[in-house]
Structures are given as structure tokens and as C-alpha cells.
């Protein structure tokens, strides 16, 4: 199933899509450091997919009309800074808002489906109208904004098309949902908006994937049957105290039926301490000094999913990319540990500096979550082919 990947970054969404069976005909990214990481990995001997055609440059300078009718899925993660809680919150006034360009590519390619991802800040009340505008612009991608038309005026015009119901041009049925990566087995509490659309002529039934993991199951595994500690061979004396939050949850919960959340320990527990010499033999597993907690940034607990890894405006924000050890010590996650938390395979390497690599990882979509969403879309499209035939 052919696809085009936009705003690829270091490749989290692209890799997840490839694992799900999408064949990327184009992978587009403007950042040279991210392109370096993409090229480094696809040219290695252990690369298990077809070599991606990586285009480096500003999306505004590329036209994809030649791909019309040849691509099943367009996917990508438009830059999140315009909507990020940690960013400047400029939204539609931010020049980095690339959703209009995403809609343009959809109009040029007319894929059967698209998958776009962004920070949950996009779904904040303050961006409610613009989020609706993004959704409707993707619903009617050929209805472009006029040269002197304000986005609010364009929104009003798109709303009339939506309500009218008799539009005959290219259109999509669009759904959006905030997904918590931890609820799908990723060892990280990372909330992201996914926007998925199917072309209106595609006969399909689709909904967002059902959550498979839960915090309650982790709490039971830690404090009722103690299986979690036994799995990791953690002696009773080395176990932390149950938190007030976990104790309250125990008093309120019903019997959980989902798998337990995966934790930082699940993700990195088999890696040696990066301060040991033997750790240097593992790609990207190098100790980075200088970690310290500060107000609002107290690191991630070893026996919970990590906090959302972030890229930051200037280098790495310590609290989000820091591990709070049971001993009371703090240290930064290594590149390899961060990549595992984002569910990149160990074979995937980040060839840039620690700061640059952590920026790329912090901006990425968790590979396994991307794969779960992409696989659900691919299955729906395959079923739609069977129905049409």
C-alpha cells in the first residue's frame, strides 16, 4: 500500500507506518539533522524495508500532483510548536503552522486516506475554532483559501459546504481523537491528537483503535499480586512505597481487564547503567552529566510510564528527559533509553549530538503507536477494496 510521509522528522511516524505495511514512495523533511538520521538508518545493512526516497527541503517548494491516483495514504506530523503548551501558542499566526500545506498535498494527491498527528494542545479550548478549521480544510482540501480571505471567513465558507451536504468535489470523512500512548502499551504518558480522514467514495467502517493497556492493571500488578516486582526481580526492600494516588485508585477500581501500563523499567531495565564502562558498547547509551530537578520538572519515575519526552526550544528541558531513580538520584535519559521510551528499535540509530538527537526523539511520534493507527487504517482500506469488488 503506497504512501507519502510529510514532516517526517527522525522517522517515528514513518517507521510505524512501514511496520504496518505502508510503502513510502516519498519521505519529506526540511531539517538537515533529521534527514541525516533518516539517511543513516535506511542505508544500513540491517534496514528491513525498501529504501525510502528522502526529499530534503521546505514543503512549500514541492508539488505532488504527479502522485495523484498512485498513493493510498498521506501521513505526517506537522510542526507542533504553534500549538504546544510549552511553545509560544501562536497557532494560526505562527509561520510554522503547516496544516494548510498538509491540506494542499492531500488536494494534489487525493489519497484514499490520511493520518496526521500533533500535540494535544491543538485540541485546547483556545484553539477550538482553528481546530475545526483544520478539520474542515482537510475535509474539503480543494476549497483553498482566497488571497485576501481571512481564515475565519474561509471557515465560514467551509461550514456552509459541510452543512449543505451536496458537495461534489474531493472530500473526506474526518475523525480526530486525543490518544494517550501509555494506553496502547508505550512506556510513556504522551497525549497526542490524531486526525484521520477517508476519502468520501471509500466504502469502509473505521474507528480509532481500542485502548489495550491501563494504569489500574499496573497498580494491581504492583500492589495486589506483586507480579510486576517478581518479573523484574526487585526485592521487597528495594520497592518504593505505594503512592497516595495509587492507594486511592485501589480503593475505587473495578477488576481491570486490560494489560498493564508499561513502565520505564520495562523499557530500559535490561540496559546497563550508562555510568558503567560496559554501557559504551551500546549505540547511543552514553552518560550525560548535569541532571537536576527543579520546580515543575522532577523527572520520570522508574516504575511508571515516563512523562512525555520533549524537544524544548533551546536544547533539552531537563525535567522531561530525566530519570528519578529510587535511590533519590537523578540523571538524564541516554539517547538509547529515550529511543526505547519512544519505541524505536535498538537497530535505529541517531548519529547527531546528544542535544540534537534528544530533540529529534522528543519531537517524534512513538513508533508502536504510529504502527497501531496506521495498521487500523490499512485494514480498513483493504476491506473497502473487498467490498467494492
Catalytic residue numbers, as ranges: 80
In whole angstroms, how large is the CA radius of gyration of the chain? 22
Are 291 and 168 contacting, i.e. CB atoms less than 8 angstroms apart? no
Strands (E), 21-149: 23-29, 54-56, 73-76, 113-119
Termini Cα distance of the chain:
17
Cα(9)–Cα(31) distance, integer angstroms:
7
Pair type for strands 191-199 and 172-180: antiparallel
Q: Which residues contact 76 (CB under 8 A, 6 or more apart)?
A: 5, 6, 7, 8, 13, 28, 102, 115, 116, 117
Q: What are phi and psi of 157, to 5 degrees?
A: -65, -40
User: Residue 297 has what DSSP assignment?
Assistant: B
How many Cβ atoms from other residues are within 10 Å of residue 293's Cβ? 13
Strands (E), the chain: 2-6, 23-29, 54-56, 73-76, 113-119, 172-180, 188-189, 191-199, 213-214, 259-260, 300-301, 306-307, 322-324, 330-332
Q: What are 345's three cell numbers?
A: 528499535
Are 332 and 291 contacting, i.e. CB atoms less than 8 angstroms apart? yes
How many Cβ atoms from other residues are within 10 Å of residue 238's Cβ? 11
Amino acid at each position: 500500500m503506497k504512501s507519502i510521509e510529510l514532516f517526517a522528522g527522525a522517522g517515528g511516524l514513518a517507521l510505524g507506518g512501514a511496520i504496518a505495511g505502508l510503502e513510502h514512495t516519498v519521505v519529506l523533511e526540511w531539517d538537515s539533522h533529521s534527514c541525516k538520521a533518516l539517511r543513516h538508518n535506511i542505508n544500513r545493512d540491517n534496514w528491513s524495508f525498501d529504501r525510502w526516497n528522502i526529499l530534503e527541503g521546505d514543503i512549500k517548494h514541492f508539488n505532488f500532483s504527479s502522485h495523484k491516483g498512485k498513493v493510498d495514504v498521506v501521513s505526517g506530523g506537522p510542526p507542533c510548536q504553534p500549538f504546544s503548551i510549552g511553545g509560544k501558542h501562536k497557532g494560526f499566526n505562527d509561520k510554522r503552522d503547516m496544516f494548510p500545506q498538509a491540506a494542499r498535498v492531500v488536494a494534489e494527491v487525493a489519497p484514499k486516506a490520511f493520518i496526521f498527528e500533533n500535540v494535544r494542545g491543538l485540541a485546547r479550548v483556545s484553539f477550538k475554532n482553528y481546530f475545526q478549521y483544520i478539520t474542515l480544510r482537510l475535509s474539503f482540501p480543494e476549497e483553498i483559501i482566497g488571497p485576501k480571505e481571512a481564515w475565519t471567513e474561509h471557515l465560514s465558507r467551509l461550514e456552509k459546504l459541510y452543512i449543505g451536504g451536496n458537495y461534489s468535489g474531493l472530500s473526506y470523512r474526518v475523525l480526530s481523537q486525543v490518544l494517550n500512548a501509555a494506553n496502547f502499551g508505550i512506556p510513556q504518558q504522551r497525549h497526542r491528537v490524531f486526525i484521520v480522514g477517508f476519502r468520501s467514495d471509500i466504502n469502509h467502517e473505521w474507528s480509532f483503535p481500542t485502548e489495550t493497556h491501563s494504569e489500574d492493571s499496573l497498580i494491581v500488578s504492583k500492589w495486589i499480586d506483586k507480579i510486576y516486582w517478581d518479573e523484574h526481580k526487585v526485592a521487597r526492600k528495594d520497592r518504593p512505597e505505594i503512592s497516595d494516588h495509587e492507594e486511592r485508585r485501589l480503593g475505587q477500581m473495578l477488576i481491570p481487564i486490560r494489560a498493564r501500563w508499561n513502565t520505564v523499567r520495562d523499557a530500559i531495565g535490561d540496559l546497563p547503567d550508562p555510568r558503567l564502562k560496559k554501557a559504551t558498547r551500546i549505540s547511543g547509551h552514553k552518560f550525560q552529566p548535569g541532571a537536576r530537578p527543579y520546580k515543575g520538572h522532577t523527572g520520570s519515575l522508574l516504575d511508571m510510564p515516563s512523562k512525555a519526552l520533549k524537544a524544548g526550544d533551546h536544547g533539552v528541558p531537563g525535567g522531561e528527559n530525566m530519570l528519578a531513580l529510587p535511590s533519590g538520584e537523578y540523571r538524564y535519559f541516554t539517547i538509547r533509553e529515550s529511543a526505547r521510551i519512544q519505541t524505536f528499535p535498538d537497530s535505529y540509530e541517531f548519529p547527531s549530538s546528544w542535544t540534537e538527537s534528544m530533540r529529534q526523539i522528543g519531537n517524534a511520534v512513538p513508533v508502536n503507536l504510529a504502527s497501531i493507527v496506521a495498521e487500523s487504517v490499512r485494514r480498513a482500506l483493504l476491506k473497502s477494496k473487498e467490498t467494492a469488488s
